[in-house]
Amino acid sequence: MVYSPKNTLFKIIVLFILVAAFKYSAAQDLRFSHITEENGLSQGVVNCIVQDSRGFMWFGTQDGLNRYDGYNIKTFKHSPGDSNSLSNNFIYSLFEDKNSTLWIGTAGGGLDEYNLSTGKFTTHSNAASDKYSISNDVVTFIFQDVDGLIWACTEKGLNSYDKATHRFKVFLKNENNENSLSNNEPVCMLQTADGRLWIGTYGGGLNSYNKKTGEFVRYIKTEDKKDESSGNINKIRTLYK
């Protein structure tokens, strides 16, 4: 067979046209369906979404928790007098751990733990008389590290929860310790392969935490008073690995 540059170029052009046509056709086939209050959603402002290990979609709204099976929606709300119900209807964050337990961060009710098997909620809220309770009842982010600890970012401190002891450990900024958390309002976190935890704060920049030493390293941008927008530099809203 004789090699022909013209034939090769022609094949490349045809292949390009076919790929472009396929992508255009695929784009034309995209369809969005809307899940609204008319479909049974408890409220129209969805703050968080998670899919559990059974395939259910969970939507946290400002007025209730919703479970969607692809056809129907089941709503969970706080029921006064029922300690096994959702603690607060305003949901900030959702997370499913390695044991298929669903964790719900609420705006004022603390951290809820939902057992998919029993259908019951267990609430972890702040108690001034209990030093092992969560530091604040507004939970904005939930995470689980490789050791199984549950971490909760609140409006007043970072918390780790040991399910074996049922105790929270609270991390706060210490003005006299530069190796403490840089800001008391953590909003996001993740863990890297070396085991370090990274925490983004709302005003205190970025922190890394070494679980072995118990120390934080702060990454803070010095604000430029001449730049009016510099105040947003240390507000870390999300992290990606």
Per-residue pLDDT tens for 63-81?
A: 999 999 999 999 999 999 9
Per-residue pLDDT tens for 139-185?
A: 999 999 999 999 999 999 999 999 999 999 999 999 999 999 999 99
Per-residue pLDDT tens for 179-218?
A: 999 999 999 999 999 999 999 999 999 999 999 999 999 9
- Least confident residue range of 14-23, 31-40, 70-79, 174-183: 14-23
Per-residue pLDDT tens for 70-110?
A: 999 999 999 999 999 999 999 999 999 999 999 999 999 99
pTM (predicted TM-score) = 0.84
pLDDT band at 222 (very low <50, low <70, confident <90, very high): confident
pLDDT at 178: 96
pLDDT band at 28 (very low <50, low <70, confident <90, very high): low
pLDDT at 161: 98
pLDDT at 116: 86
Whether residue 4 is predicted with pLDDT greater than 60 in this model: the reply is no
pLDDT at 15: 72
pLDDT at 117: 86
pLDDT at 21: 67
3-class SS letters over the chain: CCCCHHHHHHHHHHHHHHHHHHHHHHHHCCCCCCCCHHHCCCCCCEEEEEECCCCCEEEEECCEEEEECCCCEEEECCCCCCCCCCCCCCEEEEEECCCCEEEEEEECCCEEEEECCCCEEEEECCCCCCCCCCCCCEEEEEEECCCCCEEEEECCEEEEEECCCCEEEEECCCCCCCCCCCCCCEEEEEECCCCCEEEEEECCCEEEEECCCCEEEEECCCCCCCCHHHHHCCECCCCCC
